[in-house]
Structure 1
Amino acid sequence: MQITFLGTSSGVPTRSRNVSSIALRLPQRAEIWLFDCGEGTQHQIIRSDLKISQIVRIFVTHMHGDHTYGLMGLLASCGLAGNPSRIDVYGPPKLEEYLKACGRYSQTHFSYPIKVHTVRPGVVFEDAEFIVRCEALTHRVPAFGYRVEEKEKPGRFDVERAIAMGIPPGPVYGKLKQGKVITLPDGRRINGADLCGERQPGRKFVYCTDTIYCENAVELARDADVLVHEATFSHQDAELAYQRLHSTSTMAAQVALGAQVKQLIMTHFSPRYAPGNAIGLDALLAEAQAIFPNTLMAHDFFTYEIPRQASQPLATPKR
């Protein structure tokens, strides 16, 4: 699981930061799941090493333009990039109505099916490998945070031991790898769990924006490997945060601390902290790290590999 930040500014783009979008790459499935799609997102994807043709799911947090204005253009381009079999779009009420209106007035016709799912708190997607949940956040319009959980996987299957026990290779190995109990032709019952190492816990990725500090964010992020949380304002501008229902750097850190996450990555920064202004982004980072030391600050094209069982983050900036 790898996340790439395609836009880390709030409200409007700047010279160095586009508006909100994050790509979650799942290499084992050759899939990309997108979270939010602000204006210019498809240009950011083109500038990255991501493939538009691998996008299969898009999760939208809320209907504000800096999170949705790029969606219609991207969906149109996806059809031209290789005719995907289907794209599933998840988001708040009015999202489907918005996309239909865009298609109607722009005379855009998709060459592939798009399924829009209106989300509510709880499970919004599940298959054999992943489960995605959402929870309501606190913002000026209906907004949701998302939690992606990779399901626990069987431990390494001991092939050498299986051969030594006289278990013939074949389809039965697949069942044993899943921890199932099988009966051999000679009558022996073999428990696959006895031939596998410790089960591998799944990784957990949580995305919370836009919101002021709220308990729902803490619960959604509980024990996550990575929490991506908005930090629109400095703690020194907390009054603005309360007025506009956005988070400060310290609020993001408090969510991470309360949820006991392993890594916090802040994003969605106000342009007021651009270089040359009275308060810089380094101040926001220092504020957050004073509360939650394991905090990183995202920039456009920053890529973070979510480790399985590592105490240190594996972060690689890509420009």
Structure 2
Amino acid sequence: MELYFLGTNAGLPTTQRNVTSVALRMLEERRSSWLFDCGEATQHQILHSPLKLSRLEKIFITHMHGDHVFGLPGLLSSRSSQEGSPPLTVYGPQGLKQFLEVTLGSTQSRVTFGLEIVEHAGGLIFEDERFKVEARALEHRIESYGYRITEKDRPGSLNLELLQEWGVRPGPEYGKLKNGESLEVGGRLITPEQVLGPPKRGRVVTILGDTRPTPNIDPLAHGADVLVHESTFTDEFSDLAYTYYHSTAVQAAEAAKKAGVGELILTHFSSRYKDLEQLQPLLDEAKAIFVHTQLAIEHHVYPIRLAHEQEKE
């Protein structure tokens, strides 16, 4: 699992940065990517990335402001031109379905793949045998959500030496043991508990939409390995952040520290900060409170590591 940022700016694009969009790549886990928000020109950013529209499985919209959704109709239309694109599900707040039906309908854009639009009001919005996604409302000028993506625990490693000693050959038998089934080999009953190590903890990623500080951030981010938090302003503009329902770098760091996350990634920067040099004060302010903080940089890869692995560095 890894994060790949396609847009990190708030409100308006600049020559240095595009508006909001981030992909969660899960090629090993499910051979697909999930997209969180889709600001204008996201599909152009994808053209300059290793991401493929045909492998896009799900899109999660945090809220309906234009800098988070204006790229969605174009991306869906372009994906339709690729023959054999698999089904795609788009999740988001109320108004998402009308927005897509009106824009795609009025422009006579054809959608040639299975498209499901799921409007939600928080709670558990997706779950399968490997992952679950939960959402909670944040505090913004309009309905806005944060998403908590949980990878479920995986079976522990097999004791290969013991299996060899007991005459179990590599192959389907290994898979059965990992799936919790017992085997009888040479008159010996072998149970998963005898040969499996402790379960491998799944990773947790929390991605927030636009928000002021709010109590709902803590349950979304609690114990997460990575928290992606908007950081529109430095602390000197905290009053402005509050007025426009945004957060500062300091507030993002305070949320990360309270939730006990492994790593904080700041994004959604005001266009007043033109380049990385001007963004440095945001990073400095955050790291003074929460040392494991990074700036989101477009077209950079951020591996999702377990929190205890980060602590060793």
TM range (shorter): over 0.9
SS in 2 for 1:58: strand
Q: TM-score, normalised by structure 1?
A: 0.93
Which of 285, 288, 299 does residue 301 from structure 1 map onto? 299
Change (3 A) 1:4 1:183: closer
Q: Deviations over 1:196-217 (max 9, x none)?
A: 2221100111101200011101
| Worse-superposed segment, 78-87 or 61-70 | 78-87
Q: Distance in 1 between matches of 2:170 and 2:199?
A: 22
Q: Distance in 2 between matches of 1:122 and 1:275?
A: 37
**Aligned residue for 1:203?**
203
**Aligned residue for 1:20?**
20
Q: Distance in 2 between matches of 1:100 and 1:158?
A: 54
Assess if the C-alpha contact under 8 Å between 2:173 and 2:183 holds in 1. Answer: no
Assess if the C-alpha contact under 8 Å between 2:254 and 2:289 holds in 1. Answer: yes
SS in 1 for 2:297: coil
Q: Distance in 1 between matches of 2:236 and 2:74?
A: 37
Amino acid at match of 1:103: L
**Aligned residue for 1:158?**
159
User: What residue ranges of structure 2 are gaps of 5+ in the alignment?
Assistant: none
Q: Give yes or no for the alignment of 1:87 onto 2:88.
A: yes
Q: Distance in 1 between matches of 2:164 and 2:141?
A: 62
Q: Could you list the structure 1 runs, at least 4 aligned residues long, displaced by more than 6 angstroms after superposition.
A: none
* Percent identity of equivalent pairs: 42
SS in 2 for 1:53: helix
Assess if the C-alpha contact under 8 Å between 1:206 and 1:220 holds in 2. Answer: yes
RMSD: 1.9
**Aligned residue for 1:247?**
247
**Aligned residue for 1:6?**
6
Q: Distance in 2 between matches of 1:246 and 1:313?
A: 33
Amino acid at match of 1:195: V
| Worse-superposed segment, 304-313 or 5-14 | 304-313
Q: Distance in 1 between matches of 2:15 and 2:311?
A: 31
**Aligned residue for 2:309?**
310
TM-aligned CA deviation for residue 158 of structure 1: 2.4
Change (3 A) 1:204 1:275: closer
User: What residue ranges of structure 1 are gaps of 5+ in the alignment?
Assistant: 315-319
**Aligned residue for 1:142?**
143
TM-aligned CA deviation for residue 259 of structure 1: 0.3
Assess if the C-alpha contact under 8 Å between 1:32 and 1:54 holds in 2. Answer: yes
Q: Distance in 2 between matches of 1:181 and 1:200?
A: 18
Q: Deviations over 1:239-272 (max 9, x none)?
A: 1111110011111111101100010000000011
Amino acid at match of 1:140: R
Assess if the C-alpha contact under 8 Å between 1:307 and 1:313 holds in 2. Answer: no
